[in-house]
Structure 1
Amino acid sequence: MTNLFKFMNVFVKVYFLLKKRVLMKSIKKIGENFSFDPKSEIVSPHYLEIGDNVFIGSNAYISADISIGNNVMMGPSLTILGGDHFFAVKGKYQRFLYPKERENVKKIYLEDDIWIGANVTLFGGVTIGAGSVIGACSVVIKSLPPFTVCVGHICKPIKKIFSDEDLKEHLQILGLKEDRIDEIINRRNFELTTWSIQNIKSVDNTNIYWETLEDE
């Protein structure tokens, strides 16, 4: 029994290693330092574009045309769905609708420096703006502004990440050009108005972060 257990353990490890290698070769575009759990399911890897320093947590399910930027982190049990199954067809059971073309696929864009929490679901056609944080168990059906904290069963912005002044300083430190910085700040403020959200609080954990490092 012990030998059988060891054999099965080795077999499973080899299976997932081979699965990961096949997926990596099938992905349309991969940047440097990409990490994901081979237990995750990527249905259409040839429609997946991935930037540098991207991490996808365990047990993800991805079935979408998706472009992922640089420095993006995703928690466990992420679900990304880029299309809808056909329904409401006379004379057909929904279970047996098989169109010739891919079904209602809408591309998803995840910009740079995003953190997506555990058990988040993303639907087709959305863009998550650079620098945003998506809270655990959120359901994203509408595009979200850059540098915002967003949560909810219909995910929406609840806080800015940095005030406009501090965001400008942050992006300058990261080396972005002034026109790109202005574009991000103006876009955030405009997109917040489309949510009928104004004057929300901003969060800045800079001092807390450096204090924790000093305590070590």
Structure 2
Amino acid sequence: MKTVALLLFPDVEVLDFAGPFEVFSVAGEVRQPAPFRVITVADSANPIAAVGGLNVAPHFDLATAPQADVLIIPGGKGSRAAMRDPRILDWVARQAARAEVVASVCTGALILGKLGLLDGLAATTHAGAIGELRAISDKIDVRPTARFIDNGKYLTSGGITAGIDMSLYLLKRLTDQQLVDLVVEEMEYDWRMRAAG
């Protein structure tokens, strides 16, 4: 069983983390034994106020979170503050070093970019943050029109709903098409793989 960890922070975009959470948790509903343990992690154990005021209670804080096999960094308005928070940056860097896969949704790419993890790679983010990603490092090959990009260990996706597409693609990469078909059917999601390299 692989651990999928999603980072939460104040003003995180709801669908940025809830979409991938749904994909990997539904995989455990439609296939047993469950192939993934899906957890959320935040700076503290206190509830996080996401975009729109949705309060979410994380499973773990930074100090108690287990090592992730798959680390997913969502975006949202709060990603700008998160990318300046030394505790969050340190945690992401330590987790990323040992994770099998590190993925970002939307402006979560800004956090990975700030850490230098996207240097030398193609990457994308929300259409409204392309300039911000370019400003972080001229070593990132920013692809504005990509739905999501797979660099092997590191994946990035465009904004919000693109995280669902990337997660389904990643689910196929980590498991098989049959499980993806079951998840898509259960979610009633009209999915067409739209990766760009």
- Normalised TM-score (structure 2): 0.26
Higher helix share: 2
- Normalised TM-score (structure 1): 0.24
Between the two structures, name the one with larger relative contact order (CA 8 Å, sep ≥ 6).
Answer: 2
Q: Radius of gyration: which is bigger? A: 1
